């Protein structure tokens, strides 16, 4: 992997991260998995500050997938508690740093107090113009696409649009990432090489960078390494090479 960020090359506008490896990080140290999640929350702070420092405009992180409900109840409760703590303890600092927070994913299964908390955090930061930080909670890419289709079908049913008016741009307007550019770079930690139902529509042309680092060990240098790798790629969007 390329190591050094090239100052002359553009940094990705939008970085998406699958934060994987918390459990293995903890197990390797003889700790309970939740200890890995706690250190993972610290790594979130590192990633947010790193993106701000490097000039990345948007960061989207996968905090809880719609499949994560299959985990033991105690681990789910701990992850929800970490999210509460993250919002409560960071929101003022994020707001003063001009960060605009958004939560994507299906809120209907989240606890009422979390729905209220994320609504407040979004409302507080809605006018901010700095880093657009999107946190995926109870998120699944297929579910997002199906819900977009349902909204479009309803609009057609109500006569608000016709099927021929539907195109890629119009479809993207119904996704929860509406208004954000598609991710340029997807980083997945822990050595796994799959998308796990994350941003399936939006990642169509992203550069995928898989790194062995476990998420709690993610540092500014890890981020810089992934961005340097991105800068070394030749993005062609289907065109032929020169």
Active-site positions read 20, 68
Q: Which is nearer to ligand FPP, 41 or 209 (CB)?
A: 41
Q: Which is nearer to ligand FPP, 9 or 85 (CB)?
A: 85
Give the one residue of 20, 176, 207, 229 binding ligand FPP; rule: CB under 6 A.
Answer: 20
**Contact between 100 and ligand FPP (CB under 6 A)?**
no
Both structure tokens of 56: 């990345």
Both structure tokens of 97: 């740093």
Question: Could you tell me if residue 6 is left (phi over 0), alpha (psi between -120 and 50 degrees) or otherwise beta?
Answer: beta
Segment 179 to 198, residues that bind ligand FPP, using CB under 6 A: 190
Judged by CB under 6 A, the stretch of 5-13, 77-85, 144-152, 175-183 that binds ligand FPP is 77-85
Give the one residue of 11, 35, 48, 83 binding ligand FPP; rule: CB under 6 A.
Answer: 83
Give me the 55-74 binding string for ligand FPP, x by CB under 6 A, dash otherwise. Answer: --------x----x------
Give me the 216-235 binding string for ligand FPP, x by CB under 6 A, dash otherwise. Answer: --------------------
Segment 31 to 50, residues that bind ligand FPP, using CB under 6 A: 37, 40-41, 44
Question: Could you give the CA distance from residue 123 to residue 120 in angstroms, rounded to a whole number?
Answer: 5
Q: Which residue has the tokens 């190591």?
A: 3
User: Is-contact 231 9, C-beta < 8 A?
Assistant: yes
User: Is-contact 180 58, C-beta < 8 A?
Assistant: yes
| Rounded least distance, CB 170 to ligand FPP, Å | 31
100-104 and 207-210 beta bridge pairing? unpaired
Q: Which is nearer to ligand FPP, 11 or 43 (CB)?
A: 43
Q: Which is nearer to ligand FPP, 68 or 232 (CB)?
A: 68
Q: What are phi and psi of 58, to 5 degrees?
A: -135, 140
Give the one residue of 16, 58, 59, 82 binding ligand FPP; rule: CB under 6 A.
Answer: 82
Which residues 6+ apart lie within 8 Å of 132 measured at CB?
A: 57, 58, 59, 99, 100, 102, 180
Q: In what order do the strands lie in the sheet with 58-65?
A: 100-104, 132-139, 58-65, 14-18, 185-188, 207-210
Residues at the site binding ligand FPP, with contacts judged by CB under 6 A? 19-24, 37, 40-41, 44, 63, 68, 79, 82-83, 86, 135, 190, 215
């Amino acid at each position: 992997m390329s190591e050094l960020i090239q100052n002359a090359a553009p940094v990705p506008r939008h970085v998406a991260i699958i934060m994987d490896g918390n459990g293995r990080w903890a197990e390797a140290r003889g700790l309970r998995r939740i200890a890995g999640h706690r250190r993972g929350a610290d790594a979130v702070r590192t990633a947010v500050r790193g993106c701000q420092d490097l000039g990345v405009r948007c960061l989207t992180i996968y905090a809880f997938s719609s499949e994560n409900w299959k985990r033991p109840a105690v681990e789910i409760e701990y992850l929800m508690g970490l999210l509460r703590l993250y919002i409560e303890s960071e929101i003022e600092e994020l707001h003063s740093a001009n960060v605009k927070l958004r939560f994507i994913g299906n809120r209907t299964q989240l606890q009422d107090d979390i729905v209220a908390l994320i609504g407040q955090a979004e409302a507080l930061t809605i006018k901010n113009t700095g880093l657009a930080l999107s946190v995926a909670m109870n998120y699944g890419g297929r579910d997002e696409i199906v819900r977009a289709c349902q909204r479009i079908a309803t609009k057609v049913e109500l006569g608000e649009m016709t099927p021929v008016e539907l195109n890629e741009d119009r479809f993207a307007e119904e996704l929860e990432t509406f208004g954000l550019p598609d991710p340029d770079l997807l980083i997945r930690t822990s050595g796994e090489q799959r998308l796990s139902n994350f941003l399936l529509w939006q990642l169509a042309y992203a550069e995928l960078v898989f790194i062995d680092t476990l998420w709690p060990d993610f540092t500014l240098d890890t981020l810089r390494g992934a961005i340097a790798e991105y800068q070394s790629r030749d993005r062609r969007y289907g065109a032929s090479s020169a």
